[in-house]
Structure 1
């Protein structure tokens, strides 16, 4: 069950992180009628990132084998990176019309899947 909690919390965490890091590019473009100052965008991103940490820290604590979880630290990190990329591709595909997934991305993701295989192969 800790597997599912960890992965679910990591997905939620990375959803907030992606929104904090890239959402302003979609929702406050420079050529829009309302373009807040850079400091306003930074503070807004920090406010969103707070929720990322609210999910990331428990995910790592629940999932860490150091605290009787199912994943080693290396496994947690690789899992988090793969989830980050999956969430980013979904967000980019939905939010930005100029995002195009091509064979370079497919090859890169295949290599990441290989990394997951070798990291989890204990």
Structure 2
């Protein structure tokens, strides 16, 4: 059984964004760790983001156009980051975050809406 292209694409993008969010922001709890070590560890984690992101875009392109792929990636990225900053970093999400995210989702709707 083959999964539909949108399911594979979005699934790989979610996984890739999990890795990238950890690579970019996971070290913030380890301020005492040397910057060089943090960079190397983050780079190693980011490798897996690329292993997932590149196939996601390759598989999804054709079903989605490039602007749609980027929009999907950005919405997923912000969703993953919001969860990460709340669950891992313990940061509070406020109404301003909700409004900002809603506006980004509105922008995504414009990208995917067929105006013809």
- TM-score normalised over the length of structure 1: 0.88
Deviating runs (4+, > 6 A) in structure 1? none
What CA deviation, in whole Å up to 9, does each residue of 1:14-54 have, x standing for no partner?
0000000000012x13xxxxx33111110000000000000
> For the residues of structure 2 that align with 1:40 and 1:88, how far apart are their CA atoms?
23
Residue 24 (structure 1) aligned with residue 27 (structure 2): yes
The yes-or-no answer on 1:10 pairing with 2:13 is yes
Separation in 1, partners of 2:27, 2:93: 21
CA distance in 2, matches of 1:106, 1:90: 12
- RMSD in angstroms over aligned alpha carbons? 0.8
Aligned to 1:106: 98
- In structure 2, distance between residues paired with 1:95 and 1:120: 32
In structure 1, C-alpha distance between the alignment counterparts of 2:17 and 2:79, rounded to whole Å: 9
Q: 2:41: which partner in 1? A: 44
Report the alpha carbon displacement of residue 116 of structure 1 after superposing the two structures with TM: 1.0
Structure 2: where are the runs of 5+ without partners? Answer: none
Q: Unpaired segments of 5 or more residues in structure 1?
A: 30-34
TM-score between the two structures when normalised by the length of structure 2: 0.92
Q: Secondary structure, in 3 states, of the residue corresponding to 2:86?
A: helix
